[in-house]
């Protein structure tokens, strides 16, 4: 369920220190310096995301407001409330209160969805068409070895930035793997870039990352951004964020949110056809 806790990537029972740290970590990805360098479309998404983060933090940082919010989404009971007991039946007044309460609850859920869910759903569909050089990428890979983006000139490359804590990242992994299985023989290269610096903060190890990927049968290369330098160079803010890079090393598309196999296929075929001198029209 989309709510302020999922927006900040914290558990519903997180303490104030955890909420503060999560807010500051996510807010840093939307610093004015980064946002100022973005394309107009991506800047609008970043500003919308920043506003949502600020709303979430404002609500959860205040104990009283947080309790009321928890009650509104069913995570806490009102003071003095007791679990329901079996009754002989409801009086007409009780039935009226029950129906009225149900409508009030539905209205409250709609308001919460409006402020916490809709923005994320719209954001997940955001894809920007750009044309700028891809920053250099040379990183160690999971399981040993290293990878250099420059070695894949002449190929279409999908860079997918992700983390094990990110639910949309989990959901898209099968689609990305399926696209890699289908298209790698035709020239598609997929590189997963794990935000390993954040994984370490969350207490995850490289062995945990490997075990996580094994659940999904991922066999394309996974680069480990232990220092966060590549993530910063690509100005990654929400996760997952994916970059489609053409054979000349130019970023052509930026996709924010979950990818489908068809998304990858469409972008790959377009860039491959363009490289061959054709037209995607």
* pLDDT above 60 (res 208): yes
Helix (H, G, I), strand (E, B) or coil at 41: helix
202 neighbors 1 (Cβ within 8 angstroms): no
Helix (H, G, I), strand (E, B) or coil at 242: strand
| Per-domain residue ranges of the chain | 4-121, 127-275
Domain 4-121: give its CATH code.
1.10.287.110
- Band (pLDDT 50/70/90 cuts) for residue 135 is very high
* Stated length of the chain: 281
Query: Can you tell me the distance from the alpha carbon of 152 to that of 147, in angstroms, rounded to the nearest whole number?
Result: 10
> Residue 49's closest CA among 198, 234, 259, 238?
238
Q: What is the pLDDT of residue 77?
A: 59
Domain 127-275: give its CATH code.
3.40.30.10
Q: What is the pTM of this model?
A: 0.60
* pLDDT above 60 (res 81): no
Output the DSSP codes for 190-228: EEEEE-HHHHHHTT--HHHHHHHHHTTT--S-EEE-SSS
Residues 6+ apart with CB under 8 A from 261: 175, 176, 178, 179, 182
Interstrand relation of 188-194 and 250-256 (parallel, antiparallel or unpaired): unpaired
- Stretch 11-23: mean pLDDT: 90
DSSP-assigned beta bridge partners for residue 250: 133
Tens-place pLDDT, residues 157-192: 999 999 999 999 999 999 999 999 999 999 999 999
């Amino acid at each position: 369920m989309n709510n302020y806790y999922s927006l900040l990537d914290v558990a519903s029972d997180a303490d104030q220190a955890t909420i503060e740290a999560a807010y500051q970590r996510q807010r840093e990805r939307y610093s004015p310096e980064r946002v100022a360098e973005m394309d107009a479309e991506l800047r609008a998404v970043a500003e919308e995301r920043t506003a949502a983060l600020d709303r979430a933090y404002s609500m959860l940082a205040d104990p009283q407001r947080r309790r009321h919010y928890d009650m509104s989404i069913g995570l806490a009971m009102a003071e003095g409330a007791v679990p329901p007991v079996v009754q002989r039946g409801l009086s007409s007044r009780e039935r009226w209160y029950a129906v009225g309460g149900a409508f009030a609850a539905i209205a409250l859920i709609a308001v919460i969805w409006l402020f916490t869910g809709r923005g994320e759903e719209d954001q997940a569909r955001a894809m920007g068409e750009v044309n700028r050089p891809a920053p250099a990428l040379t990183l160690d890979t999971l399981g040993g070895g290293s990878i250099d983006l420059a070695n894949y000139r002449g190929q279409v490359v999908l860079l997918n930035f992700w983390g094990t804590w990110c639910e949309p990242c989990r959901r898209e992994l099968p689609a990305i793997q399926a696209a890699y299985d289908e298209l790698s023989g035709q020239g598609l290269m997929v590189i997963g870039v794990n935000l390993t610096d954040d994984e370490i903060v969350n207490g995850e190890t490289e062995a945990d990352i490997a075990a996580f990927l094994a659940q999904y049968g991922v066999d394309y290369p996974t680069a480990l951004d232990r220092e966060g330098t590549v993530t910063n160079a690509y100005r990654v803010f929400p996760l997952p964020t994916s970059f489609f890079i053409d054979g000349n090393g130019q970023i052509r598309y930026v996709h924010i949110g979950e990818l489908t196999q068809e998304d990858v296929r469409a972008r790959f075929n377009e860039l491959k056809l363009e490289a061959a001198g054709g037209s995607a029209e």
